[in-house]
């Protein structure tokens, strides 16, 4: 299935939200809320949705839940936005199963994180990525480099190997090394997406395609405007938008885990019925919620 926002410059769109997975009061996946949330995000600046990533609490959702969530999002917004399925785990065979499921359900893309905890050698990272992408049977893929969570970083020679796979088209970068990023853009055909909300403008300035964000839950339109300002060469406008985003980014990304804060924010906005998360995550504290509320008020989303 072809993404409605696929292009050479931005194979999955410009502003992708790593969507939270809403739960019912008893902790089950709330598919009605999933569809309402996905629709809200696309109506407010996101041209792509990542399902079952870290922010979707994928470590605690089952493969069956991931499939139902993905199908619900595709049904709700798949004709208007790129829908990318998070299929990366630290078990290659499990990731292969998730990739096959995502392809059958019609995902526009796959997100494959570096295997975590195992700390494989670079040869294992390359083999894992290629095996999972192969299971997607033609589905374009984005690799996810986030050493702060996985314990390993994808090395430059590994990127040169990975780019030989024509289905590996992009990187979600949470390393934040702009010199390395400039090298990647020069030496490979890979497109870069910012994997750190606060660094989106710097990434855009050196040629990144967009962002896979968490703060985009509440500020998707602002991020879209910032992308457009950079594309138009209006750095001053982009800087002004970035400055306006700072309190929101700090409130959502600087207090606790992203899924916790994003759920608190979406609950405050009335988009999801509760802010429940699954252990080992715990809900935002009253103080954290108050700080998120203050940031949303300052941003003009609530009064």
Helix segments in the chain, DSSP class H: 31-43, 63-77, 92-105, 122-135, 147-150, 156-162, 178-187, 200-205, 216-231, 235-253, 258-268, 286-298
Phi-psi region of 35 (alpha: psi -120 to 50; beta: other; left: phi over 0): alpha
Considering the candidates 116, 159, 172, 263, report the single residue annotated as catalytic: 172
∠ CA 115-116-120, rounded to 5°:
60
CA-to-CA separations, 41 to 16, 38, 103, 228, in angstroms, rounded? 9, 5, 23, 18
Residue 86, both tokens: 């998070």
Is 144 one of the annotated active-site residues of the chain? yes
Backbone phi and psi for residue 16, each to the nearest 5 degrees, phi listed first: -105, 135
Candidate list 116, 117, 119, 144, residue with the active-site label: 144
Annotated active-site residue 172? The verdict is yes
Q: Are 264 and 275 in contact (CB under 8 A)?
A: yes
Instruction: Select from 284, 218, 278 the least CA-distant residue to 65.
Output: 278
Distance of CA 74 to CAs 14, 43, 104, Å?
A: 18, 15, 12
- Reported for 74-80, long-range contacts at CB under 8 A and 24+ positions apart, including other chains, are 74/105, 74/106, 74/107, 75/35, 76/34, 76/35, 76/38, 76/39, 77/38, 77/39, 77/41, 77/42, 77/49, 78/1, 78/106, 78/108, 79/4, 80/4, 80/42
Asked if 171 and 212 touch (Cβ cutoff 8 Å), the reply is no
**Active site (catalytic) residues:** 144, 172
């Amino acid at each position: 299935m072809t993404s409605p926002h696929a292009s050479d410059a931005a194979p999955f769109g410009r502003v992708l939200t790593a969507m939270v997975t809403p739960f019912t009061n008893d902790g089950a996946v709330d598919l009605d809320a999933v569809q309402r949330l996905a629709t809200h995000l696309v109506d407010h600046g996101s041209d792509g949705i990542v399902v079952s990533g870290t922010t979707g609490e994928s470590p605690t959702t089952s493969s069956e839940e991931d499939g139902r969530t993905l199908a619900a999002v595709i049904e709700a917004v798949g004709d208007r936005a790129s829908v990318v399925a998070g299929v990366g785990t630290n078990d290659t065979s499990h990731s292969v199963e998730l990739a096959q499921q995502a392809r059958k359900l019609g995902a526009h893309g796959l997100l494959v994180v570096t295997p975590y905890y195992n700390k494989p050698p670079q040869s294992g990272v390359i083999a894992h990525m290629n095996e999972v992408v192969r299971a997607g049977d033609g589905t374009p893929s984005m690799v996810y480099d986030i050493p702060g969570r996985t314990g390993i970083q994808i090395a430059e020679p590994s990127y040169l190997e990975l780019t030989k796979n024509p289905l590996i088209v992009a990187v979600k970068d949470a390393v934040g090394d702009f010199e390395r990023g400039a090298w990647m853009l020069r030496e490979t055909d890979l497109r870069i997406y910012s994997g750190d909300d606060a660094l989106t403008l710097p990434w855009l300035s050196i040629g990144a395609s967009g962002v896979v964000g968490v703060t985009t839950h509440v500020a998707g339109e602002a991020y879209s405007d910032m992308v457009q300002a950079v594309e138009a060469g209006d750095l001053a406008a982009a800087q002004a938008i970035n400055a306006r985003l700072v309190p929101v980014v700090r409130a959502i990304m600087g207090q606790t885990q992203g899924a916790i804060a994003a759920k608190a924010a979406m609950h405050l906005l009335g988009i999801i019925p509760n802010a429940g998360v699954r252990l080992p995550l715990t809900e935002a504290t009253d103080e954290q919620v108050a700080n998120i509320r203050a940031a949303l008020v300052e941003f003009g989303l609530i009064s």
